[in-house]
Chains A and B, each alone.
Chain A
Amino acid sequence: MEHITLLIGIVIATALVFDFTNGFHDTANAMATTISTGALKPKTAVAMSAALNLVGAFLSVAVAKTISGGIIDESAGIKPEVIFAGLVGAILWNMITWLAGLPSSSSHALFGGLIGAVLVAAGTHGIHGDAVVMKVLIPAAAAPVVAGLASTLATRVSYRVGRRTDPKATARGYRAGQIASAGLVSLAHGTSDGQKTMGVITLTLITGNALAPHSDPPLWVIVSAGAAMAMGTYLGGWRIIRTMGRGLTDIQPQQGFAAQTGAAATILASSHLGFALSTTQVCSGAVMGAGLGRSGAVVRWSTAGRMVAAWVLTLPGAGLVAAGAALLADQGKWGVTVVAVLALAACAAIRTASRRRPVTSANVNETDTAEPQGAVTAAIAAVAPPPPAPAAGTAA
């Protein structure tokens, strides 16, 4: 760490804020069903997930090095302002979907934001189109299907094998299994998503000439990124946890175990075979699959439809916000300042809006049938044009 300018300092701080939002946005992935089946108390669950996310951040730096060379072409002249704009887009999209209680992919928000900002600042040659399709779009379509089918089948098998047992007597066993597989998901999440932020910070340091090209992330980057994500995870995105644990379907311990194991297996298999799938979409798909696997369980397709609409909108939505931010930030110091002020104001407004219907660790397991659908639709419509939404809704 030699000479770090104020601008690079701002970008790093923004990246850590994104990491924080990523943490609380994705707590649901590992812990939603663990909390809704009562395997762990809400506070214990988020504490365990936070600790494992932190540990995961230290396990590997392989993914961190792929973020820059993969989707974005650094040689196209990416400036710190552009990365800043991309991060602002990603943060705002995470906040909006959190307010709506929708589990959307934080990685897609990050990619969408960076892509949108780069498109505005450097044009289409700054983006590897093939890489976007191969690394983002196809995995996005495949993730929920793969995880969903696996956990549907696993749920069926589990209920068939255990059909002569008393559900009350066996629930404890399944809850224990659920905790183990949720821990695995948390660990894998810390390793993959924590590294994305490390990659962004490293890329910023390289563009600002504070680090040599192709460097590994310095230790202070790994520590701060891991800590930011762990704090976000511990805060807990209770709105999203409620949607995933209660809103999609009613989850029994046996289903929760099947869903969580399916999610862990999908994430590990895909990342190990070089086909990284979005943790959020894998976990949501697995929960729905487990819902379909138990006879008599209800899958709430309207909630699922809104969730899929949010998935489809995440890339363009975060991209549009980031593109606007990039236009402003490219104007110089005042532009960056305006973007920062606007972003802070928007986050404060979203936080205030969330206070009207707070969801906390105390009421996370209450089913809330009268969800604020108006706010959801309005928020999404305000950020991205509505046409894709109905199509996605019916396809779901």
Chain B
Amino acid sequence: MSIDWHALFTVFAVTLLSTVGLVGVFTLGVVGLSRREGGAAALSRTGAYVCFAACAAAVAWGIYLIVSK
């Protein structure tokens, strides 16, 4: 009986990176939307939408993973 440490570690690494990455990007988006004053508001709003688009792409990728199995 051998424990598949490689698979375990891969799951761990992928989960950690994708979770922190996704939550981080989404938080950036939320922060960008909450800036309403000043000249940089439009810029940060655009940045926020880019962040949300990236998250939506990740969700689509997740659904693709479920379906493609």
For chain B, the bracket of interface size reads 20 to 34
Residue from B12, B24, B34 within 8 A of A157 (CB atoms): B24
Query: Which of the listed residues A56, A166, A188, A262 has the most CB atoms from chain B within 10 Å of its own CB?
Result: A262
Residue from A177, A254, A262 within 8 A of B15 (CB atoms): A262
Interface of A is mostly: helix
Residues of B within 8 A of A142 (CB): 8, 11-12
- Is B46 part of the binding interface, using a Cβ–Cβ cutoff of 8 Å? no
For chain A, the bracket of interface size reads 35 or more
Q: Are B7 and A150 in contact (CB under 8 A)?
A: no
B-contacting 9-mer, from A75-83, A272-280, A298-306, A309-317:
A272-280
Residue from B4, B28, B62 within 8 A of A161 (CB atoms): B28
Residues of B within 8 A of A188 (CB): 62, 66
CB contact under 8 A between A191 and B23, given known A274-B7, A275-B7: no
- Is B42 part of the binding interface, using a Cβ–Cβ cutoff of 8 Å? no
Q: Which residues, 93 to 151 on A, are CB-close (under 8 Å) to B?
A: 129-130, 133-134, 138, 142, 146-147, 149-151
Residues of B within 8 A of A273 (CB): 7, 10-11, 14
CB contact under 8 A between A269 and B67, given known A133-B1, A169-B34: no
A146 to B59, CA, bound (A): 20
Residue from B23, B28, B30, B59 within 8 A of A184 (CB atoms): B59
Report how many A-B pairs have Cβ atoms within 8 Å: 131
Residue from B3, B20, B28, B69 within 8 A of A60 (CB atoms): B69
Q: Which residues, 51 to 106 on A, are CB-close (under 8 Å) to B?
A: 56, 59-60, 62-63
Q: How far is the CB of A24 from chain B (nearest CB, A)?
A: 22
CB contact under 8 A between A153 and B33, given known A264-B62, A269-B11, A272-B69: no
Residues of B within 8 A of A257 (CB): 23, 26
Query: Which of the listed residues B18, B65, B66 has the most CB atoms from chain A within 10 Å of its own CB?
Result: B66
Residue of B nearest to A158 (CB): B27
Query: Which of the listed residues B15, B18, B28, B69 has the most CB atoms from chain A within 10 Å of its own CB?
Result: B15
Given contacts A142-B12, A191-B69, A265-B22, list 16 more A-B pairs with CB under 8 A: A59-B67, A134-B4, A146-B12, A149-B16, A150-B16, A157-B24, A161-B28, A162-B31, A166-B34, A170-B31, A173-B34, A265-B18, A266-B11, A268-B62, A268-B66, A275-B7
B-side residues, CB < 8 A to A, are 1, 3-4, 7-8, 10-12, 14-16, 18-20, 22-24, 26-31, 33-34, 55, 59, 62-63, 65-67, 69
